[in-house]
Structure 1
Amino acid sequence: MNRWTELSIEYANQRSYLDDLFHVYPTIPEGIRDIDKEIWANVEKAFIRKDNDALIKELLRLDLFPIKDSYVAYLKRDPSAIGRNPRTVNRICGRLYEMGLDKIFERSSEPKETNRQIGPMFREWLRKKSLGITPIKLSQFIASNDDAILDASDNAMMGFARNNLGYQHEKGLDFIARFKGKYIIGEAKFLTDFGGHQNAQFNDAISTIEAKGVRAIKIAILDGVLYIKGNNKMYKSITTTYKDHNIMSALVLREFLYNL
């Protein structure tokens, strides 16, 4: 088995793994989302008047629609569909009226899900010089051959990897670094549970390290339940099928880089 995967499993099962991981992923919920006062005033008016079209249109202007419905995304992308599909609009509005204004406000102002904050948390941890060096901007990164970690937007990181490292995979990257003249790329994931979306996140990271033709060391910086020993699918995968890949916790990443 890959040495760094072994170290990660050992860390998770014998040391204060979760306490230490909190420095990387401090999953403190953000405050409630700000609701634009003008939009909310329009929502209240439409709700009181029972103006279905206006109610839907105003709620679609908010960052978060208050109910989960498979047809909402379509209406958001094509507002003209609101007038053409009265039954769909009436059905959704029926649920909204049943909820009431207070519940609509509560749902629309819920904090972002933790999973959507994982990438930014990891990069913020890097910026704290957790790996021994401070990440630098793209212009500095390409102007030198010294050890460095790239601090750039998703698009800039993808562009650098495509143009310089032969990376053609469609998935974005959370980590690009250069140590001892070698480039390292990877995705960072915090897998909080088994099943569903978390399995998809795991598979995304695996597909990145299996990308062909990349002129860099590929790593999957994974943390969470995958290191729990047992019959769970993730643990079995990293100890059998993917046992030779560079799969590791963020907590052993520094040691990995300085041992290249």
Structure 2
Amino acid sequence: MNIWTQRSIELANQHDYLDQLFKVYPLSANEKRDLSNDVVEKLKALLQTRDSKGLINLLLDQVKGNGDEKHPFPIKYSYVSYLKNDRSAIERNPKTVERIASYLYEMGLAGILEKTSAPKETNRQMGQLFKNYIDQATLGLKVTKDEMSFLNSEEDIIFNCSDSQGEDFAKRVLGYQRDKGLDFIAKVKETYIIGETKFLTDFGGHQNAQLNDAIDTLTSSIQSTSFHVKKIAILDGVCYIKSGSKMYKEITSFSDDTVVLSATLLREFLGSL
């Protein structure tokens, strides 16, 4: 097990880990996401006329914002995702449409507004909160969002770009092989550091998948490149609790040269390179 993983476990189990972590992920209670007055009026009219196709289309229009969930669909129903991704299926599947609409009519306007205005889940904030933390330059390195400034810098520097920009840069320049965005790219001396960040809030299910996602990046191959590239996994949350969990077993099974660490130790790690 790597020394930085050991230190992360010690921090989480013996010190004020969560108090320190709040500096990286300053979570707050989420505000409701109210629909606009115009959409509410359209909803009222569609419910009154029982226009099932129009009702479902309108609610699906509210689901996606700029790369993130804008308003959740008011019911959890497996066929909704299909309709969201193929609107033409609404015309071809009248029985399914009426079945979904019947649940919406039963909910009524008040029920629909309550569900579509539900606060955003905290785990959807994590990536941006980490980016904001990097932008504060608290890691002791210069920060840029410009690729050429990053490449040409003679100082230690962090490239704090979007995940997709990070993936594109790492593939073109560093020989990165995964079709997956990167949360963290830095250059310290002659070493490029790349990795993903995850805040694992609970055990099992989706959170195990999140851990596996970070591990896949950590263990992915790098094509031949003239640069020295080091992969890391910046993990936080329940994975450091000493237990028999799959997460704990996973992060403690790696060799000494595989770096898994808490974001709270990232500054010290970069300073050690």
Smaller-chain TM-score range?
over 0.9
Match of 1:232?
245
Kept in 2, the 8 Å contact 1:39–1:61? The answer is no
Match of 1:89?
97
SS at match of 1:110: coil
Match of 2:219?
210
Superposition deviation, residue 42 in structure 1: 1.1
User: Separation in 1 of the partners of 2:254 and 2:17?
Assistant: 24
User: Separation in 1 of the partners of 2:257 and 2:45?
Assistant: 61
Superposition deviation, residue 65 in structure 1: 1.1
Kept in 2, the 8 Å contact 1:126–1:134? The answer is no
Kept in 2, the 8 Å contact 1:128–1:134? The answer is no
1:163 to 166, 172, 188: 172
Kept in 2, the 8 Å contact 1:150–1:175? The answer is yes
Kept in 2, the 8 Å contact 1:228–1:235? The answer is yes
1:221 corresponds to which letter in structure 2? Answer: I
2:129 to 96, 121, 127: 121
User: Separation in 2 of the partners of 1:154 and 1:223?
Assistant: 19
SS at match of 1:135: strand
Kept in 1, the 8 Å contact 2:142–2:156? The answer is no
User: Separation in 1 of the partners of 2:120 and 2:272?
Assistant: 37
Match of 2:67?
none
CA RMSD across the alignment: 1.5
Match of 1:106?
114
Number of equivalences: 260
Match of 1:147?
156
1:176 has 2:176 as partner: no
User: Separation in 1 of the partners of 2:237 and 2:264?
Assistant: 11
1:181 corresponds to which letter in structure 2? Answer: E
SS at match of 2:195: strand
1:20 has 2:38 as partner: no
SS at match of 2:143: coil
Segment drifting more, 105-114 vs 11-20:
105-114
TM-score by length of 1: 0.95
Structure 2, gaps ≥5 residues long: 64-71
